[in-house]
A and B are shown apart, each in its own frame.
With several copies, the nearest count.
Chain A
């Protein structure tokens, strides 16, 4: 069973990396890039095949390790 976790900076947190990418894109002539934010995506291969259990366990992983909830939000997809 597979799960995907998105970890993104909270909207209120400055994202210098996203900003740098946007500046670089604009510099390359991609003026259409109005704003850019960068996050992490973590793909997990999980034992078992109970989606609800997987969602719960991945949620615990996020709280414990995968995200720092002071600055980051996370979202889980069970695939």
Chain B
């Protein structure tokens, strides 16, 4: 599996993503600088977390307009797998590859904690190593992860089965206290219609090593590895 990690000024989970991809794929990912306009031929493009351009106007807004994102959109439309985590998810909604928007957390505070997620669809390239019946445990760390979509859009996302993950408790139940940011329908991650683009607020790359938080995140990269190699 050949991969690329996009690096914006202000990205700060780029190294974590690089390590996770390298460990799983056994190959060094291409680190692609935001100013580059050439995208190497890869099987998966990852947009890491962080605060691209300081996230000063709106999270992900400036990154979505950078030259390299035009390339990413083109590749995504041709079917290349694209994974956006945290700030990367925000970038994907801002550039229109994914529907909806990510707003300030309902608590108005940054939140970093481990959360449980239901896996809504385990038939995709990103998720087929997961079980639908067992919640996974990964971390969130964001100030703007409150998923919002207009009613019609939300109905479409739900109707087409585009929800990838929802926040749940350890038993897999969708309860309010398990939702760290107020997201509609407890949405933690969504696919595009073709299921080749995934955006999620939680950080699978921080859970790709038992010493730092378990393996539940690693399974996502292993799914990709299985599907794309």
B104 CB contact (under 8 Å) in A12, A17, A21 = A17
Q: Is the interface of B mostly helix, strand, loop or mixed?
A: loop
Report the minimum CB–CB distance from B104 to chain A (whole Å): 6
B188 interfacial contact with A, CB 8 Å = no
Chain A contact patch, size range: 10 to 19
Q: Is the interface of A mostly helix, strand, loop or mixed?
A: helix
B57 CB contact (under 8 Å) in A12, A14, A24 = A24
What 0/1 readout, one digit per residue, does chain A (44-58) give for beta carbons within 8 Å of chain B? 000000000000000
Which chain B residues border A21 with CB–CB below 8 Å? 56-57, 62
* Residue of A13, A65, A68 most packed against chain B (CB within 10 A): A68
Which chain B residues border A14 with CB–CB below 8 Å? 103, 148
Cβ-defined contact, A38 with B57, below 8 A: yes
A3 interfacial contact with B, CB 8 Å = no
Which A positions have Cβ atoms within 8 angstroms of B? 12-14, 16-17, 20-21, 23-24, 27-28, 38, 64-66, 68, 70-71
